[in-house]
Structure 1
């Protein structure tokens, strides 16, 4: 029997076997999570936000993930390549930094035009 993982903000949900990493689940449902290291917890690009109630659907942080996050886990962040799904969970993908910068620039231009 599988567990469900939902990716926000796009709302895509997939059923996976317990023990599947968030990164593997995202690839199966075609939700892009940026990574440069191929899932080895060395690039830190695959950070995702897991709200407190959903965090129970993931395995506890391992030592490697705890060291890499350096306290960000207190804000609900996990590494998609390390966190494994063990129950139903909702994961929020942070906005890509480049897209965020472009969005902010466009907003500033719109304000200037007003």
Structure 2
């Protein structure tokens, strides 16, 4: 029996074996999670938000140290977090897309002033 992982905002789902990392599952589902260290918990680029932490295996000491308290807000490293039950994973907005979105919002606000 597998676990069901849903990736938002892409709204893609995949069923995988229990204990698979979120990063491995994302690759199988063809959902892009940024990383430079290829899953070694070195780059910290693969942070994801997981509202239901009970669906993941407990955090190892390395991940806890790397996150520096962000785990208390529901963040985990996709390369380290292992799914043990059905879970929904919220992917952060790509930094380039975020910068473009902010620029467009600022332009809209400036247009509204006139």
TM-score with structure 1 setting the length? 0.95
Q: Within 1, Cα distance between the matches of 2:55 and 2:4?
A: 9
- Corresponding residue for 1:35? 35
TM-score with structure 2 setting the length? 0.95
- Give 5+ residue unaligned stretches, structure 2: none
- Superposed displacement of residue 98, structure 1: 2.1
- Corresponding residue for 1:56? 54
How large is the RMSD of aligned CA atoms in angstroms? 0.8
- Superposed displacement of residue 110, structure 1: 1.9
- Superposed displacement of residue 111, structure 1: 2.1
Show structure 1 runs of 4+ deviating over 6 A: none
Q: SS of the residue aligned with 1:14?
A: strand
How many pairs does the alignment contain?
112
Q: Which deviates further from its counterpart, 94-103 or 59-68? A: 94-103
- Superposed displacement of residue 62, structure 1: 0.3
- Residue from 87, 90, 103 that aligns with 1:92: 90
Q: Within 1, Cα distance between the matches of 2:86 and 2:16?
A: 10
- Give 5+ residue unaligned stretches, structure 1: none
- Corresponding residue for 2:107? 109
